[in-house]
């Protein structure tokens, strides 16, 4: 009866985090190594997995409130298989292995709870409210999963002699050692309705990578739903 669907059965587990298709994340849960995931991102689970609404790090919660960069997270613990997704966005799985990455909170799907993480202020972007001023920096030994609306692209900043400019709405993640500053390509013309539509960019320089999604829709679908 369900022969056409049989092809979508889960593949055997080979890693802590894997993609099932390109839009769904499969996490092999185990007691002792908890997972932090976006609230509302769970689509299915097998086994005994428990969810706590927020990890009791009061300071971080308080900071979330202040910064608006608070990705509401839930702590998942237990044994089993956990499936996460964010409204059909592409999933990117990274084994950090000691590296660090700076992620836009909207694009964060899940990460190992033992990783070092925190909401931090992006230096060099003074007086720029909205996206990109605050972001989540994650580092350590473990796995992290990002979402991207459409297949992302990774650009090496060291490759060009000039700075790399990114539309803040399309930015997904970047290497934290990059220098960031804001760039206003804002002219007097824009005030009379003749702008180019690109009023503000973030400029990255240094050695590292920038991950960009092919969409400028940065609404947080998980949060919109509540």
Nearer to other proteins, 11 or 62 (CB): 11
- Provide the minimum distance between the beta carbon of 137 and other proteins in the complex, in angstroms, as a whole number: 12
Q: Terminal CA-to-CA distance of the chain, rounded, Å? A: 37
CA nearest to 110, candidates 72, 78, 141 = 72
- Provide the minimum distance between the beta carbon of 67 and other proteins in the complex, in angstroms, as a whole number: 24
Nearer to other proteins, 127 or 194 (CB): 194
DSSP for 14-40?
A: -SSEEEETTTEEEEEEBTTB-EEEETT
User: In sequence order, what are the beta bridge partners of 147?
Assistant: 91
Phi-psi bin for 68: left (phi > 0), alpha (psi -120 to 50), beta?
Answer: left
Nearer to other proteins, 70 or 142 (CB): 142
- Provide the minimum distance between the beta carbon of 159 and other proteins in the complex, in angstroms, as a whole number: 8
Phi, psi angles (nearest 5°) of residue 50: -115, 150
Nearer to other proteins, 172 or 222 (CB): 172
- Provide the minimum distance between the beta carbon of 172 and other proteins in the complex, in angstroms, as a whole number: 10
């Amino acid at each position: 009866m369900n022969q056409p669907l049989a092809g979508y059965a889960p593949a055997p587990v080979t890693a802590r985090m894997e993609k099932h298709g390109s839009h769904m994340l499969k996490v092999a849960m185990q007691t002792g190594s908890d997972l932090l995931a976006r609230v509302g991102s769970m689509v299915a689970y097998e086994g005994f997995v428990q969810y706590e609404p927020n990890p009791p790090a009061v300071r971080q919660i308080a900071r979330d409130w202040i910064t608006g960069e608070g990705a509401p997270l839930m702590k998942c613990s237990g044994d089993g298989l956990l499936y996460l997704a964010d409204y059909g966005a592409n999933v990117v799985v990274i084994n950090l292995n000691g590296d660090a990455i700076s992620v836009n909170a909207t694009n964060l799907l899940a990460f190992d709870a033992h990783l070092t993480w925190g909401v931090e202020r992006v230096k060099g972007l003074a007086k720029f409210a909205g996206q990109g001023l605050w972001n989540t920096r994650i580092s350590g030994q473990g796995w992290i999963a990002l979402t991207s609306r459409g297949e992302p692209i990774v650009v090496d900043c060291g490759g060009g002699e000039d700075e790399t400019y990114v539309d803040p709405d399309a930015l997904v993640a970047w290497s934290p050692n990059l220098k960031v500053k804001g760039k206003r390509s804002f002219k007097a013309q824009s005030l009379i309705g003749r702008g180019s539509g690109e009023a503000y960019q973030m400029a990255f320089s240094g050695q590292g990578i920038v991950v960009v999604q092919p969409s400028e829709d940065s609404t947080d679908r998980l949060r919109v739903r509540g």
